[in-house]
Amino acid sequence: MITEQTVCIPPRATSFRAVCEACALSQLPSRGYVGATVEGTLSLEREHGRITCARGHEIRVLRALPASLVH
């Protein structure tokens, strides 16, 4: 059972598409990721956010640090 999901997006991304792992695990493998994806946006001013998939699973969204800030 998945208790928390997190998606990390690139530093300059404002939109994203991700797989809800909880949905993917609850369906037949032959379906792949059909019906298990979410799409969202995160403005450049925000470092984190949340999105909810169609089945109600919450996914945390984090913005990655730019390479110039990683030591």
Best CA proximity match to 52, nearest among 29, 22, 26: 22
Rounded Cα–Cα distance for residues 15 and 51 (Å) = 12
pTM over 0.75, yes/no: yes
Q: Which residue has the higher pLDDT, 71 or 44?
A: 44
Return the pLDDT at 1. Answer: 65
Chain centroid to CA 24: 13
Residue showing tokens 């001013």: 45
Residue 15 has pLDDT above 90, yes or no: yes
Q: Looking at residues 35-58, what average pLDDT do you find?
A: 95
Q: Check pLDDT > 70 for residue 30.
A: yes
